[in-house]
Amino acid sequence: MMLASVVLELLLLSCVVNAQDGPAAVVRILPGNEPAIGLLALSPSPGGVTISGTILGMRPGVHGFHVHERGDLTDKCAAAGGHFNPFNRNHGGPGYFERHVGDLGNIVADQFGSAQVFITDNHLSLDPTSPAFIGDRAIVIHAGADDLGQGGNAGSLITGNAGSRAACGIIRLTYPSSQLVQQQPVYPQLQPTNIKAPALPQSAHQIRFPSDSE
């Protein structure tokens, strides 16, 4: 398990370094109610945001996959709160108008408990000025399948009845080292009448890498 984790991390970091432009993010998936682990890379793409990676140690089958409100993994992912829902809609799934921004549908673990994730979604944003910005929020993988709001009961319109929180991780913005110079803020021309320190954007220019202290 440890070796798999290290190999995944190396693969992921090479992807991040090769990314061409814009902010990217990484998610280290850690155990919640089940001993699953994994790594995901998030990149802006023409279709929205692409999430790709691998989750290991899951129970075979279909698992709800969401962005939850808070980047807090304590209490076996319970502290992550509800589905990320900045527009106050009912629960749904990809392709529906009526959905939470965080509703990414399901992923499927094979007979060995491994799930390949490759999702592109146009409701998510990696732009810190967007209300749909998902940086510093959590990705939660559930023990059961998400019914995408079609379950015909109250729970279906809130959680999709996806069951307990199997594993989760925090969406952390990162930058490829090759772009650090280009990512410096542009300072306005100093004029005698205009000498004041420009305000730096809060999150976009903080350089963070995944660390062991979540």
Least Å distance, CB 207 to Zn ion, is 31
167-193 b/e (C-beta count within 10 Å ≥ 16 → b) = bbbbbbbbbbeebeeeeeeeeeeeeee
Contact flag: residue 51 with Cu ion (CB under 5 A): no
- Closest by CA to 106, choosing from 97, 95, 96, 93, is 93
Which of Zn ion, Cu ion, none has residue 100 at its interface (CB below 5 to 8 Å by kind)? Answer: Zn ion
Residues with catalytic function: 66, 68, 83, 91, 100, 103, 142, 165
Phi, psi of 117 (to 5 degrees): -110, 125
Indicate if the alpha-carbon torsion angle 199, 202, 203, 206 is positive or negative: positive
Give the HSE-up count for residue 20: Cα atoms under 13 Å, Cβ half-sphere: 3
Contact flag: residue 36 with Cu ion (CB under 5 A): no
Which of Zn ion, Cu ion, none has residue 137 at its interface (CB below 5 to 8 Å by kind)? Answer: none
Contact flag: residue 140 with Cu ion (CB under 5 A): yes
Contact flag: residue 167 with Cu ion (CB under 5 A): no
Instruction: Tell me whether strands 103-109 and 115-121 are parallel, antiparallel or unpaired.
Output: unpaired
Nearer to Cu ion, 130 or 164 (CB): 164
Name the one range near Cu ion by CB under 5 A: 12-20, 29-37, 64-72, 198-206: 64-72
Binding stretches for Zn ion (CB under 5 A): 83, 91, 100, 103
Contact flag: residue 28 with Cu ion (CB under 5 A): no
Q: What span, in angstroms and rounded, lies between the C-alpha atoms of 75 and 199? A: 37
Contact flag: residue 73 with Cu ion (CB under 5 A): no
Angle (CA) 45 47 52, round 5°: 60
Of 27, 40, 55, 66, the one binding Cu ion (CB under 5 A) is 66
Q: By CB under 5 A, name the binding residues for Cu ion.
A: 66, 140
